[in-house]
Amino acid sequence: MSERWIDLDGAANVRDEGGLPVGDRTVRPNRLIRSDNLQGLTPLDVRRLVDEHDVRAVADLRTKTEVDLEGPGPLTAEPRVTIEHLSLFVEAGEHTDVVAAEEDGPVLMPWQEREATETERPSIVDIYLRYLEDRPDSILAALRLIAYTDGATIVHCAAGKDRTGVVVALALDEVGVDRDAIVDDYVRTGDRLEPLLARLKASPTYATDVRRMPDEQHRPRRESMAGFLVAMDEVHGGTANWLRKQGWTEEDDAALRKALLAE
């Protein structure tokens, strides 16, 4: 598994999904890459991703609030890379404006605004299922970006754990990757937890949110992704069934399989 990590100076949690088992086949390398925030990429990082890993598209799952606060990332200046912003949160109107708790106070992210109105704390599986309920359009767009891009697609959010974990898991589950391997891949973010949290704490956008809980509580748990995949079966009749109810077609499925599966 160690060779799947892509070590960059400007991101901590970057790995290629290539090599994951699909029956007697595997996922192709340089087709699906998952990552944390890409704002800190160096010029050398950009060249490595574009030239060595054939990156041609980015599915940015962050909210408009995050994108506005962080500003244009280095890959936006790369003409060969298409970037699509595909928030997994419902945002007021078309987008959510940046909201501060007080004048010059900490920024409230969309998930914090939601938490403030909820009477019960949802489980992580509930949160993951809510992504599907709130933004099926973004999820389908991300999967289609992976399927139809001639090259590698990076899927990322802030940490590369929750939002990224759900979209990547759905893509992998749809093409038949072994579910134990999907769970194993999800928890690998924990191997980079310390440098990942250090980066987030150094960002004015994320520092307050990350510090709301002890570092160890940010660690991905096997039961979170395993529970989500079980819930996909129990609540939605499986990933394939849910996708098709949202408008995912057999042509989309064939394209995703062609993009991801090695011969």
What's the per-residue H, E or C state across 228-262?
HHHHHHHHHCCHHHHHHHCCCCHHHHHHHHHHHEC
pLDDT at 112: 54
Identify the weakest region by mean pLDDT among 83-92, 125-134, 161-170, 237-246. 83-92
Domains and CATH numbers, the chain: 2-260 (3.90.190.10)
- Close Cβ partners of 243 (under 8 Å, ≥ 6 residues apart): 140, 143, 170, 174, 252, 253
- DSSP helix/strand/coil, 29: coil
Taking 90 as the threshold, does the pLDDT of residue 250 lie above it?
yes
pLDDT at 3: 75
Question: Residue 69 in contact with residue 205, Cβ under 8 Å?
Answer: yes
Q: Which pTM value belongs to this model?
A: 0.91
Share of the chain above pLDDT 70, in %: 88
pLDDT at 120: 67
pLDDT at 191: 96
Where residue 225 falls (left for φ over 0; alpha for ψ -120 to 50; beta otherwise) is alpha
Mean pLDDT of the chain: 91
